């Protein structure tokens, strides 16, 4: 009789352990999916802004040439224009207006740490933000071009890896 009770207890314990295992697996899997989905949702505003602002943006893949009109340095992980951007944007818009036949190429840069695709998208969003500010300042949209984002180590100054360069080219 005791052997039957021991066997029944053993089976009961294994059943309970199996149920606990499946519940924990489901909870952990659900949390992982939620985290994955939350990461996509957090990226969605940036992607939505890219779609709304830059649908059909063509990125040129040309070497850095032309007259460097200025550099804008962005905060880590941000595509919002820096507070000191107005003077650089104003000067660039004026230089573009004073140089018929030329265009302004905006080059976004990003560092080598983290996900390269996300970094490149952030660099593109920064360049788009600069382009939109230039258009708002009266620059001819047809003469503004976005250059393919480039990865850089940034050198001694980490800000160099979070910049957008404005170059006047033929």
Task: Give the right CATH number for 59-169 from 3.40.50.970, 3.30.1330.60, 3.30.70.1520, 3.20.20.70.
Answer: 3.30.1330.60
b/e map of 94-131 (b: 16 or more CB within 10 Å)? ebbeeeeebbbbbbbbbbeeeeeeebbbbbbbbbbbbb
Domain extents in the chain: 1-55, 59-169
Q: What's this model's pTM, rounded to 2 decimal places?
A: 0.64
pLDDT digits (tens, 9 = 90+) for 70-105: 999 999 889 999 999 999 999 999 999 999 999 999
pLDDT at 44: 37
pLDDT digits (tens, 9 = 90+) for 69-79: 999 999 988 99
Query: What is the average per-residue pLDDT within 127-135?
Result: 94
């Amino acid at each position: 009789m005791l052997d039957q009770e021991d066997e029944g207890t053993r089976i009961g314990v294994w059943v309970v352990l199996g149920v606990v295992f499946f519940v924990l697996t489901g909870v952990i899997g659900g949390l992982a999916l939620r985290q994955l989905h939350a990461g996509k949702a957090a990226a969605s505003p940036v992607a939505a802004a890219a779609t709304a602002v830059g649908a059909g943006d063509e990125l040129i893949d040309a070497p850095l040439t032309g007259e460097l009109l200025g550099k804008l340095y962005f905060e880590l992980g941000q595509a919002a224009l820096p507070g000191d951007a107005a003077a650089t944007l104003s000067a660039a818009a004026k230089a573009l207006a004073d140089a018929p036949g030329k265009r302004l190429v905006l080059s976004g840069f990003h560092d080598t740490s983290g996900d390269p695709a996300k970094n490149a998208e952030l660099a593109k969003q920064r360049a788009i933000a600069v382009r939109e500010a230039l258009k708002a300042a009266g620059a001819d949209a047809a003469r503004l071009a976005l250059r393919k984002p480039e990865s850089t180590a940034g050198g001694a100054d980490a800000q160099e890896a979070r910049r957008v360069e404005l170059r006047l080219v033929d």
